[in-house]
Amino acid sequence: MEEGPYKYIREGHGKISRVIRLGTRKSQLARIQTDSVADKLKELYPDVHLEIVAMSTIGDKILDQALSKIGEKSLFTKELENALERNEVDIVVHSLKDLPTALPLGFTIGAVLERESPNDAVVLHPKNAGLTLDALPDKSVIGTSSLRRAAQLKKRFPQLEFENIRGNLNTRLRKLDEKDDYAAIILAAAGLKRMGWEDRISQILGPDDCMYAVGQGALAVEVRARDKDILEMVSVLHHPDTVLRCIAERAFLRHLEGGCSVPVAVHTEVKESVLYLTGAVYSLDGADCLKETMQTIIAPNSAAEECVQDGVHVGVTANNIPASSKAAAEKLGVDLATLLLSKGAKDILTTARQLNDAR
């Protein structure tokens, strides 16, 4: 990568400072998420000059197809990475869920922030206010384009029907409210909360109803791998438990060779120095399911050491998370994927992929 057009400002007294630029998609959720990271950085480093640069990505432009059909998981991330590569931005904030499990060479996740609720939520058409999925009339249509959500919910609620719904959160909520096409839609609780729409959540889906997507509810900060200053700066944002859970989840998906176009779901927990990972793969109708749980011991929660000297932040890297714990989390994900593969996960995923492509 070349040294490119970093941005600098003159601060008076001849002092010249680099402006740290945060790249974001233009959707309201992406902006809210990026603003929240900028606010945290501003609080930790009051003297740093931050600027937010918004751009639209291919994923935002193709609105008429289900994401599982377009395939590519990097749809939402590629253009932002191009901007990182050209040094036009220094930091990109993503929903971790949207980040491929293997990043292109030269990029790295500098921080994973404390996870919001990872669960999915039911948002009802206003005419159904007060109901739950159980209580909706037979053949009610539920909007979701996620193969993972549809597979699990079809199994659990066979009396309901499922149809695609696309667009960003604003669009989907508008499609729900303004038309009569859907009785309810399923969305990530985290996104709804960040948008300030928590009051639209009528039901949170627990693990027996619908396990969540790898990385759901967590924000990731992507940076250039060689940019040590920025890496150190953002690493204070790391949340140890979230990091370990997401390392395990992403290792699981990577080893399954999943991606966003397959029905794979997870559930993780950290309790008393033990990390638990439940992972599952489903056929498109949810009838075939492989689901297992494994666990590993991790080091006691070493709450982020405040690396402050004389009131100045001297930086922390992810060293507040023991390397042995990160390795154990990674191994847990790989081991669980290996177990599911030995039971036939590959066949289920291959068939699901083929059927979905043929639809």
Residue with nearest beta carbon to ligand PBG: 191
Q: According to the binding rule CB under 6 A, does residue 325 interact with ligand PBG?
A: no
CB of 215 to ligand PBG, least distance (A): 7
Among left, alpha and beta (phi > 0; psi -120 to 50; other), residue 130 is left
CB of 188 to ligand PBG, least distance (A): 4
Q: According to the binding rule CB under 6 A, does residue 154 interact with ligand PBG?
A: no
Q: Which amino acid is at 210?
A: C
Q: Cβ closer to ligand PBG: 110 or 118?
A: 118
Question: Applying CB under 6 A, which part among 106-114, 185-193, 226-234, 342-350 lies near ligand PBG?
Answer: 185-193
Q: According to the binding rule CB under 6 A, does residue 191 interact with ligand PBG?
A: yes
Q: According to the binding rule CB under 6 A, does residue 249 interact with ligand PBG?
A: no
Q: Which residues pair with 7 in a beta bridge?
A: 19
Q: According to the binding rule CB under 6 A, does residue 143 interact with ligand PBG?
A: no
Question: Applying CB under 6 A, which part among 20-28, 90-98, 201-209, 285-293 lies near ligand PBG?
Answer: 90-98
CB of 14 to ligand PBG, least distance (A): 43
# of chain residues touching ligand PBG (CB under 6 A): 9
- Write out the binding residues for ligand PBG, residues 282-311 only, by CB under 6 A: none
Question: Applying CB under 6 A, which part among 93-101, 226-234, 295-303, 334-342 lies near ligand PBG?
Answer: 93-101
Phi first, then psi, for residue 257 (nearest 5°) are 55, 50
What's the rounded Cα separation, in Å, for the pair 82 and 104? 11
What's the rounded Cα separation, in Å, for the pair 92 and 54? 10
Residue in the structure block whose two tokens are 């793969």: 281
Catalytic one among 98, 120, 209, 335? 98
Active-site residue, 98 included: yes
* Cβ neighbours around 35 below 10 Å, total: 15
Q: Which amino acid is at 89?
A: V
Are the C-beta atoms of residues 24 and 34 closer than 8 Å to each other?
A: yes
Q: According to the binding rule CB under 6 A, does residue 250 interact with ligand PBG?
A: no
Residue in the structure block whose two tokens are 């990475």: 81
**What character string, x for contact with ligand PBG (CB under 6 A) and - otherwise, covers 43-82?**
----------------------------------------
* Cβ neighbours around 9 below 10 Å, total: 12
Element (H, E) at 7: strand 7-10
Q: According to the binding rule CB under 6 A, does residue 95 interact with ligand PBG?
A: yes
How many CA within 13 A on the CB side of residue 308? 8
Q: According to the binding rule CB under 6 A, does residue 203 interact with ligand PBG?
A: no
Q: According to the binding rule CB under 6 A, does residue 222 interact with ligand PBG?
A: no
* Cβ neighbours around 70 below 10 Å, total: 14
Q: According to the binding rule CB under 6 A, does residue 188 interact with ligand PBG?
A: yes
Q: Which sign, positive or negative, has the C-alpha torsion 83, 87, 92, 97?
A: positive
- The beta-carbon contacts of 6-11 under 8 Å, at least 24 apart in sequence, are 6/87, 6/90, 7/51, 9/49
Q: According to the binding rule CB under 6 A, does residue 187 interact with ligand PBG?
A: yes
Q: Where does this chain bind ligand PBG (CB under 6 A)? A: 95, 97-98, 187-188, 190-191, 216-217
As annotated, the active-site residues are 98
